Amino acid sequence: MSPEDLVAGRTGRHCLALPSNRLGLYLALRHWCSPGQRVLMSPISADEILFLVLAAGLHPVIAPVSPADGNIDPAAADLATVDAVLTTNLYGLPDRVSAFAGKVLIEDVAHGIETTVGGRPLGTFGVAGVYSFSKHPGAGSGGAIVAESRSDLRELERERDRLLLPEVFANEVYSVLTSAARNAALRLGLVRPALKLARALRMEEPREGYRIDPRPGDVRLAAKHAPDLAAFDSWVRADLHDYRTRRGRLSRWYQSRRLRALPGQRERRIAGVRLLAGLPTAAAAVRDHLDQPLFRVPLLVSDRDAAIAELERHGVATGYLYDPPYDDYLPEFIEASPAPEVARWWGRHVLPVDPLYALRALPVVRTLGPAPPVAP
């Protein structure tokens, strides 16, 4: 079965395959929102998501987040002042989707392809759900967008095809091989040599400070062209230069193979979630989702840098740490959160642990001290 058939079968919605989650989010924002509209979004997410909102010509309204899960806290947000909501479902913990009824809801399900709410998959509550195949499935590339209406999907497909760049077979081979090697290194606990090799091969882009240099002056110039994805390409493409390059048969075969493997990992993931949920450092919401095969289990610890180094020595990779919240990243281009302290606290202290490797991580994480209480 094709990747889109597998996702459509899981969600019961019409599905369009994409080269990346990033392109899908841009397509959804452009299709369901009009330039100038206000989009409520979490301050804790990958830097490129903010640039996708700006590229779509929209105004980012930064939400307060809950200390329990790092997701939007709808009770503390002024929903009456926004036109649309972009959820994050951080580390697979679900946003409170029912609280956003009446708003255009676009679900970023990059971390939540396996999460359900009331037995219903994330990504099926809003007008669109956008998935990533490089997160849970570990396919290295690819994504999908799902929608209820076939006519919406046809329009999305036309716009996708307009933005796609031609496939490059050599790049596909490289992507599949490096993804397979990365997955093998994780299974075998060869994290430290794998990280050294990745850095030697420049698979990780060099950085000073922020993962993506914000360059406010350049953003100001790019914003004059919005909506326009090309104007923001230098930010959106960070660490994934082929985010809008068409995928061929090899990539699609590999994506399908990785997606089909997910059900076989489910029980092991849930067992890891339950094991890590018993730690005093586990985020409070983890204990409310012990039946979910989360992408990562967020722990909130006092000395994260030392913990990351020690986990690497035990063969456990730690990724998906985000730069300081958007309030502190590009303040002149956003409407600031009314309560940014919780997001800053999460940004400083969260340690996401892969539940598939919970047993390997346990000797390290069980010794970690909890993060200090969040400032009032």
Query: Tell me: the pLDDT tens digits for 238-279?
Result: 989 999 999 999 999 999 999 999 999 999 999 999 999 999
Averaged pLDDT, 356-367: 96
What is the phi-psi region of residue 218: left when phi exceeds 0, alpha when psi lies from -120 to 50, beta otherwise?
A: alpha
> Going from the N-terminus, what domains does the chain have, and what CATH number goes with each?
3-163 (3.40.640.10), 265-365 (3.90.1150.10)
Residue type, 84: A
51 with 358: CB under 8 angstroms? no
Is there a contact between 62 and 41 (Cβ–Cβ < 8 Å)? yes
Q: Is the pTM of this model over 0.75?
A: yes
Cα–Cα distance for residue pair 84/56, rounded to 1 Å: 13
CA-based radius of gyration for the chain: 19
Residue 198, pLDDT above cutoff 70: no
Backbone torsions φ then ψ of 327, nearest 5 degrees = -55, -35
CA distance 376 to 373: 9
- Return the pLDDT at 203: 55
Q: How far apart are CA 120 and CA 274, in angstroms?
A: 21
Residue 319 φ then ψ, to 5°: -135, -170
Q: Is 212 exposed, middle or buried (0-12, 13-18, 19+ CB in 10 A)?
A: buried
pLDDT digits (tens, 9 = 90+) for 96-142: 999 999 999 999 999 999 999 999 999 999 999 999 999 999 999 99
What lies within 8 Å, CB to CB, of 114 at 6+ separation is 92, 136, 262, 266, 269, 292, 293, 294, 295
Judge contact between 87 and 97, C-beta under 8 A: yes
